[in-house]
Structure 1
């Protein structure tokens, strides 16, 4: 059997909503806490955080210990980054910075084995139980590996119809931070242009692809669930820990000099 946890993809295919978080700290104990708290998955942020291939593999391994899926946001669409993540046993990949359906099709090709793609074949990797996964490993990996791509610029919003036609693409993940910048309103996810772009993605993709997004408060979470967004990242480990520490430090304020 492959060693990766395919729980999130199977839940999505069963019509369930899954809940995760972006993960920015190189900390296996923190991964354990997320899993024990009941998160379905984490998105290890290989684009904006500091990880080695080895540290990512250890985070993936820890996810499996607590029954949680591991999705790796790769730094880019380079074949080596996709291959390292999947050979390490990741449940899936989430690829940023794409600008066309053709680039997404290339990601699929890099993430899937023959006959679906051209992923480098080496059964002596962790995902294939170091060569002990059985003769149907590639078929099962093709079936169970999640592929998510970011919709985070105006070009990808314009391509959403074509993206919905791409076979073996599982999740369209709306990234409002970069999208706001691409539309000329950096940091303003509530600008009408950004809201309209998000609405277009959801309206076009609903019922055709799984839609992903970040929820930063209960109201946004409720709205996304009501609109059919089923792959939801609740903030990040960094934002949650930062808020917790600031709240803790407020207890000291009355006792500080000055």
Structure 2
């Protein structure tokens, strides 16, 4: 058996647009529906969603073979945590709150085996090597691993040039919500100052030859980022899609059955 190819990594390096959706409901049934809905990638979120290692494994098992590539976001960029996610079979990780080139270098080392990195050698115990069914996993794994770092604070923005100079980063992702909060506009990522910063960062990432990404439900910002060359854009969140659909259904039902006096 050969190591599975990472279609997301290949696509963003080829300059192809990849559309994505956030999975925060931590529910396998909904992950299965989402993974076959037509998005190129989905994020299994463990930073703000109640996912743990076991539920992440379940999501990865479900998403295997479905059209959407699984991107896993840890709560924080700790080496030991990333190691566990890689052994669970994740091939793409999105690390939040990256604020310096040194932090970025540590993340590159975390996904790399010695002598180039610090990833522990234990793939025989995990899904990563398909439990040793991939005999050359240790020598071929890195080619299919994809590291995305998330810039979402003023410190990250200030260090962006240095972060972009770090070899081994496949993509840089802008987080509008946290960036807005750190800039004094909490709850308002559409504030002019925040918008200008996002666009400046996106242009800088693209100019450096690195894949640029973002999560935004703002259709205008989605289009603007796509037009300047962003390669991976998440446009939807399962939590809000479900919540809005349920609230809409309840409102419609109540208006129909209670509003009419029935």
TM-score (norm 1): 0.93
Higher mean C-alpha displacement, 149-158 vs 204-213: 204-213
- Contact kept, 8 Å, 2:21 with 2:237, in 1: the verdict is yes
Aligned equivalent of 1:31: 31
SS at 2:169 equivalent: coil
Q: Report matched runs for 1:182-193 at 5 Å.
A: 182-193=182-193
Which 4+ stretches in 1 moved above 6 angstroms?
Answer: none
Q: Distance in 1 between matches of 2:34 and 2:159?
A: 34
SS in 2 for 1:49: coil
Deviation at 1:2, TM superposition (A): 6.0
Residues 21 and 235, structure 1, Cα contact 8 Å, conserved in 2: yes
Specify every segment of 5 or more residues in structure 2 that has no aligned partner in the other structure, as ranges.
none
Alignment of 1:122 with 2:122, yes or no, is yes
**Alpha-carbon distance in 1 for matches of 2:233, 2:71:** 12
Paired residue for 1:256?
258
Residue 173 of structure 1 is matched in structure 2 by 173
Q: Which runs of no fewer than 5 residues in structure 1 stay unpaired?
A: none
Q: 1:13 matched to which residue of 2? A: 13
Paired residues of 2:40 and 2:69 also in contact (CA < 8 A): yes
The answer on whether the counterparts of 1:41 and 1:71 sit within 8 Å (CA) in structure 2 is yes
Following TM superposition, by how much is the alpha carbon of 1:106 offset from its aligned partner in structure 2, in angstroms?
0.5
Kept in 2, the 8 Å contact 1:179–1:194? The answer is: yes
CA deviations over 1:156-196 (Å, ceiling 9, x no partner)? 11111111111110111100111011112212212232122
Secondary structure at the aligned position of 1:190 is classed as: coil
Show the counterpart of 1:204: 204
Offset of 1:5 from its aligned partner? Answer: 5.5
What's the C-alpha RMSD, in Å, of the aligned pairs?
A: 1.7
Q: Which residue of 2 aligns with 1:144?
A: 144
Alignment of 1:45-194 (within 5 A): 45-124=45-124, 125-135=126-136, 137-194=137-194
**Contact 2:151–2:172 at 8 Å: present in 1 too?**
yes
- Distance (whole Å) between structure 2 residues aligned to residue 246 and residue 5 of structure 1: 40
Distance in 1 of aligned mates of 2:159 and 2:86? 26
The corresponding residue for 2:244 is: 243
Question: How far is 1:103 from its partner?
Answer: 0.6
Aligned residues: 257
